[in-house]
Chain A
């Protein structure tokens, strides 16, 4: 079963508008971390934002904010004032407990391709 679900394979947004990329997750562990990464066409993976499961406030990093709704198990990424350079693939990820006791691993969703229109 998919533990990280990104239901939007592709999205369009007009330049300067805000856009929300959806992410839902599934875990029974009380301690976990949620992440968003950006992958432009050049292929590198760029860290955007992190939210810990115990963090009371939603994380923000510049134009990026993470809308964390714990009860709904959602961790949507909000990009404000979209720019042409925001066109990329976006991945949601979760840090969860690993197979060996005391270890952790990170799993990713299938991604959302965002296209910003001029």
Chain B
């Protein structure tokens, strides 16, 4: 199906482990984004990408790594997970530049770091 998909939907890991959250979109949008959602903080931007091989830090990038070798994929890696990274993670893509632009969101990944 066309759209933006995230995997896994739920993940439990332990502190110090490496975790990768996957994001795939089928619209060929240039822009992709990773957000984390925490109570009281809304959605905070972790990293974003304007195109393949172009990535930039957002508001809260520490402890995260991204790559974008293909337009359709934008994985987010927690190199050594910490309890403070327990959160709901949303991937999004944008049809920026088109009339009535919008951000399209994935279903989210609920990550628990024990």
**Which A residues fall within an 8 A CB radius of B?**
6, 33, 35, 37, 43-45, 47, 50, 91, 93, 95, 98-100, 102-111
Q: When the two chains form their complex, are residues B33 and A47 in contact, meaning their CB atoms are under 8 A apart?
A: no
Contact A50 B45 (CB under 8 A): no
Docked-complex contact B45 and A111, CB < 8 angstroms? no
A33-B101 contact given A43-B107, A105-B33, CB 8 Å threshold: yes
Interface of B is mostly: strand
CA distance A109 to B108 in the complex (A): 18
Are B100 and A104 in contact, CB atoms less than 8 angstroms apart? no
Q: Which residue in chain A gives the minimum CB-CB distance to B107?
A: A44
CB distance from B3 to the nearest CB of A (A): 12
* Shortest distance from the beta carbon of B9 to any chain A beta carbon, whole Å: 10
Contact of B57 with A by CB under 8 A: yes
CB distance from B76 to the nearest CB of A (A): 15
Partner of B56, one of A6, A105, A108, A109: A105
Known: A43-B88, A45-B90, A98-B56. A108 touches B96 (CB 8 A): no
The answer to whether A108 touches B48 (Cβ under 8 A) is: no
Among B35, B40, B41, B50, the residue within 8 A (CB) of A104 is B50
Cβ-based interface call for B112 (8 A): no
Q: Which of B33, B88, B107, B108 contacts A106 (CB 8 A)?
A: B33
B residues 36-68 with Cβ under 8 Å of A?
40-45, 48, 50, 54, 56-59
Given the complex, which residues of A lie within 8 Å of B108, measured CB to CB? Answer: 43-44
Query: How far, in angstroms, from A105 to B30 measured CA to CA in the complex?
Result: 12
A35/B103 in contact, CB under 8 A? yes
Contacts of A108 in B (CB 8 A): 35, 42-45
B70 near A: Cβ within 8 Å? Answer: no
Contact indicator per residue, chain B 13-44, by CB within 8 Å of chain A (1) or not (0): 00000000000000000010101000011111
Chain A residues with Cβ below 8 Å from B54 are: 100, 103
Q: In the complex where A43-B88, A91-B42, A100-B56 touch, is A105 in contact with B102 (Cβ < 8 A)?
A: no
